[in-house]
Amino acid sequence: MKASIKLLAIALVLFGFSISGKAQTSATATATGTLVSALTISGSGTLSFGRIVAGTAGTVSVAGVPAPSPQSALGLAGGTVTSASFTISGADGAQYVVTLPSAAVRVNHSDGTNWMEVSSFSCDVATPGTSVAGTTASGTLSGTSRTFYVGGTLNVKTGDPIGTYTSATFPVTVSYQ
């Protein structure tokens, strides 16, 4: 009997050593990343306010839409009226933000001395064909490219001399959102 108690005691001791405590545990995770094409913007055309009769102060507005009509209380004398067009290229379905100038852009007279300003920029980024004023607008690429249009307001001063006024450029930037 003593032998069987000894064997039982030895078995219990050995069994106790075979049970290990779990002081730690672990899990796993996955890392992912997706490469997309670079977002690019290219411009074509010119924001043109047409021909304006000189003499009085006022504004001429051209909406940021494909075929704008100038809006003004000033006398207009025809000429070419266009909004500037830009094309964004990037990843299909990507959200992007377009930033327009927040400050007025100077358009200089061909004499190099006189100038007018273009302000209140607008574009049809959010809803194609609907011009919305503001310095930023966002949209989503449907396909890999999207053309949008930028308009603005030309501020004419009393006594501005007759002639052609041109800006060097104005910035329009785009970034993924």
Q: How far is 95 from 136, CA to CA, in rounded Å?
A: 13
How much is the pLDDT for 14? 56
Q: What is the Rg, in whole angstroms, of the alpha carbon atoms belonging to the chain?
A: 34
- Percent share of the chain, pLDDT over 90: 69
pLDDT score for 45: 75
CATH of domain 40-176: 2.60.40
Lowest mean pLDDT among 20-29, 102-111, 156-165: 20-29
Report residue 7's pLDDT band, with 50, 70 and 90 as the boundaries.
Answer: low
For 10-27, what is each residue's pLDDT tens digit? Answer: 655 555 555 555 788 999
What value does the mean pLDDT take over residues 86-90?
94
CA dihedral 117→139→176→91, nearest 10 degrees, is: -130
Mean pLDDT, the chain, whole residue set: 88
